[in-house]
Amino acid sequence: MLEADVEVDRRDFTVLASISVAPGERLALFGPSGAGKTTLLEAIAGLVPPRKAMITLSGRVLTSTGKPGIALPPWQRKVGLLRQDPGLFPHLSVRDNLLYAMRGAQDLAELGELADALGIAGLLAAMPARLSGGQAHRVALGRLLLAHCDALLLDEPYTGLDASLRRTLTDLVISLVAERRVPSMLVAHELAETQAFADRLAVLDQGKVLQTGSPGEVVLRPASRRVAELVGYAGFVPVPGSAGTVAGVHPDRVTAGSHPNRGLVLSGTVTRCRPAGVLWEITVRTSSGSRATLVARLPEAAPTGQDIVLTVLEPPCFGLDGTAVGIGESAGLPR
Amino acid sequence: MSLAASADPAIVTPPAPRGGGPGGVAVPRKLRSVNRSLALAGTGLIWIALLGPVIALLTHLSWHAITSSLSAPGAFEPLILSVQSGAVTLGVLVLLGTPLAWALARGALPFPRVWETGVLASLLLPPLVVGLLLVFLVGPYTPIGHVLSGLHLSATDTFLALVIAQVYESAPYYVLGAQAAFAGVDPRLEQQAALLGDPPGRAFRRVTVPLAAPGLAMALAIAWARAMGAFGAVVIIAYHPTALPLQIWTTLQETGLPSALPFALVLLVVALPLPLAAYIWSARARGRRRG
């Protein structure tokens, strides 16, 4: 169990977070760049001194600013941190990098097993400079696991790797975390990456945890308008008949035509249409009620200037103060 | 042409011919090869000029002079003395200079510029001046001199004096070289070692030193060459016992150039192999790292 209650001062704000991760659980921290995600991980790893904190891992106190004050140095924490830069020691072969944290020879069988699982068994004699990005990450991951860390912290580890490699590495980490029952945390600023990894997702902004929930829940039921913006809701349209309430429109949760039983029906005029992958990104100026702009990704193109009717599927609705007031019908959408 | 290109970006404009006229492409190519040969000749000239003294030494040595100079009784004593004091000097540099270089490279000292200026000062002061000033620092009538004489030691005209002079002449080369070597080690790798369970001392031994080793070896080798050839400060505070550079100087004064040259050769033979070995070793270490 990893429990961290942390206050760290940054230049422009204070990171104030309280998280707990069970053994074998995977928590992802999602948030924009500069939200304080890395700071939180570094405070847990002991690289950044917190102003106020209580951090425990498997019953051991790592940091405590109470009395008596405790601040274990990084080398006594047994916290594994994997970053974008794999940080392999360039003067050591892959084998020696993997063995770096091992004390004694009893684990050599484990080295072989893990190298097989990671697909790096054929690279043990190679020097890190010869490895590709994905191979270097596998070795760095293997090194952390052989160090028998009590927690695994992944700080944007896959940035710069291609999509299929990310998927393979994510699956690998998931199975290894489950097998070793260590609490693990992943930090990323790409939603899809965190969703692929996590069984719990925390949204961090300006140093504060705005919402924690299942990866699906956070996206479909954002707790506030700010969370909705962070997870990709690109438009907010007034809900007819309830003053001050807006419905969040996610470009991918819009369908063409009028389907009043599935959500909020809007009509408007197409102001722009451009390709987005295999879909068309359509910007619409609504005409029903007060005017607003929304973006939808639809399979069919629509010429600029054309009138269009859209249904926003089960939109989350937010009150004047930005907090969620419900989904679709429960928020009082007219049928 | 440029108008057409800007009107339709799909048209790729061929590079404008340089030199103009037919064969405009061939002329620059010829020019380029002339340029390259000129550059090569220039570099070769500089190389020969730099090595000129060594070449002159080798061409002016006669076998007879070597045998007669080196067969004189006690001819090799200065050599042995120089090697001994040089070894002690290197030991002192490694023990005291390495931590200083590391602290400078990691910005671990308050007022880093002040420290750096101190190291640079001993590099920029002429050795002869350093020698003169050392008399005021460690001479027999100074506080340090008194302490030393209480220990039955003296820092003038002794082995200790020779080591002190050599340390002053070679220390900046080692400290600055080692500082650059440590600065080249990514601190995140040291951090990574800490996260993998290494306390700072062990991380220094397992990560920092091996990664800085090629640079450290070069710095040490240069310091060795400087210590072997130290003359300016040595001639002031350690005229006796006679080290190799002083032997060359006195031989030159007493019996002339031809009999001094063999000792110059000895000095080169002693001073150069370590730097060369260090150079080859560090080049290999870097190559190994590239895999």
All domains of chain A in start order, with CATH = 2-220 (3.40.50.300), 225-331 (2.40.50.140)
Q: How far apart are CA B159 and CA B162, in angstroms?
A: 5
- Distance (Å) of CA B104 to CA A106, B97, B98, B100: 41, 10, 10, 6
Residues B14, B15, B20: CA angle, nearest 5 degrees? 115
In sequence order, what are the residues at sequence separation of 6 or more whose Cβ sits closer than 8 angstroms to the Cβ of residue B52? none
Please give the single-letter amino acid code of residue B204.
F
Per-residue pLDDT, A289: 59
Per-residue pLDDT, B2: 42
Residue B26 pLDDT > 80: no
Is the Cβ pair A127, B210 closer than 8 Å?
no
Is the Cβ pair A75, B188 closer than 8 Å?
no
Q: How far apart are CA B61 and CA B259, in angstroms?
A: 9
Q: How far apart are CA B252 and CA B258, in angstroms?
A: 8
Domain ranges of chain B: 82-284
Q: How far apart are CA A286 and CA B8, in angstroms?
A: 39
Of A75, A77, A78, the CB nearest to B199: A75
Q: How far apart are CA A264 and CA A259, in angstroms?
A: 8
pLDDT tens per residue, range A102-126: 766 656 788 888 888 888 999 999 9
- Residue B236: how many CB atoms within 10 A of its CB? 20
Low-confidence residues of chain A, pLDDT below 70? 103-107, 288-290, 328-335
- Residue B240's pLDDT band, with cuts at 50, 70 and 90, is confident
- Residue B274's pLDDT band, with cuts at 50, 70 and 90, is confident
Find the helix packing angle between B257-271 and B273-289, rounded to 10°: 30
Q: In Å, how far is B27's CA from the nearest CA of chain A?
A: 42
Nearest CA in chain B to A143: B196
- Distance (Å) of CA A291 to CA A232, A237, A238, A314: 21, 8, 8, 20
Q: In Å, how far is B196's CA from the nearest CA of chain A?
A: 6
Is the Cβ pair A47, B191 closer than 8 Å?
yes
> Chain B interface, mutation test: which of A89, A97, A99, most B Cβ atoms within 10 Å?
A89
The residue with tokens 């063995």 is A99
Check residues A83 and B62 and name the one with the higher pLDDT: A83
Closest CA to A175 of A3, A20, A26, A29: A26
β-pair type (A246-249, A316-318): antiparallel
**Residues B281 and A120 sit within 8 Å (Cβ to Cβ):** no
The residue with tokens 């042409």 is B1
Per-residue pLDDT, B27: 65
Rounded average pLDDT over B62-76: 84
Q: How far apart are CA A84 and CA A54, in angstroms?
A: 27
Per-residue pLDDT, A245: 87
pLDDT tens per residue, range B80-127: 999 999 999 999 999 999 999 999 999 888 998 899 898 888 889 999
Of A73, A100, A126, the CB nearest to B196: A100
* B contact set with A (CB within 8 A): 188-189, 191-199, 203, 206-207, 210-211, 285, 288-291
Q: How far apart are CA A210 and CA A207, in angstroms?
A: 9
The residue with tokens 């120089």 is B82
Is the Cβ pair B291, A128 closer than 8 Å?
yes
Phi, psi of A298 (to 5 degrees): -125, 155
Per-residue pLDDT, B40: 92
Closest CA to A30 of A22, A45, A40: A40
The residue with tokens 């639809």 is A298
Q: Does A87 touch chain B (CB under 8 A)?
A: yes
> Chain B interface, mutation test: which of A75, A76, A96, most B Cβ atoms within 10 Å?
A75
Of B194, B211, B291, the CB nearest to A74: B194
The continuous run of DSSP H or E covering B65 comes out as helix B63-70
Per-residue pLDDT, A332: 54
- Residue B18's pLDDT band, with cuts at 50, 70 and 90, is very low
Per-residue pLDDT, B34: 87
Q: Does A327 touch chain B (CB under 8 A)?
A: no
pLDDT tens per residue, range B187-213: 999 999 999 999 999 999 999 999 999
Per-residue pLDDT, A107: 65
- Residue B21's pLDDT band, with cuts at 50, 70 and 90, is very low
Q: How far apart are CA B230 and CA B235, in angstroms?
A: 9
Q: How far apart are CA B42 and CA B54, in angstroms?
A: 19
Per-residue pLDDT, A211: 94
- Which CATH superfamily, name and number, covers B82-284? MetI-like (1.10.3720.10)
- Chain B positions touching A81 (Cβ under 8 A) are 195
Phi, psi of A206 (to 5 degrees): 50, 40
Is the pTM of the predicted complex or chain greater than 0.90? no
Is the Cβ pair A129, B193 closer than 8 Å?
no
Per-residue pLDDT, A288: 63
- Chain B positions touching A77 (Cβ under 8 A) are 195
Is the Cβ pair B291, A130 closer than 8 Å?
yes
Q: How far apart are CA A105 and CA B37, in angstroms?
A: 59
Check residues B175 and B67 and name the one with the higher pLDDT: B175
Per-residue pLDDT, A329: 57
**Residues A129 and B291 sit within 8 Å (Cβ to Cβ):** yes
What share of chain B has pLDDT > 70, as a percent? 90
Q: In Å, how far is B195's CA from the nearest CA of chain A?
A: 5
Residue B5 pLDDT > 70: no
The residue with tokens 């006690």 is B74
Q: Does A81 touch chain B (CB under 8 A)?
A: yes
β-pair type (A60-64, A52-57): antiparallel
Per-residue pLDDT, B237: 92
Q: How far apart are CA A182 and CA B36, in angstroms?
A: 62
Residue B3 pLDDT > 60: no
Residue B140 pLDDT > 70: yes
Check residues A143 and B4 and name the one with the higher pLDDT: A143
Give CA A208 to chain center in angstroms. Answer: 14
Q: In Å, how far is A14's CA from the nearest CA of chain B?
A: 24
Residue B13 pLDDT > 60: no
Is the Cβ pair A127, B291 closer than 8 Å?
yes
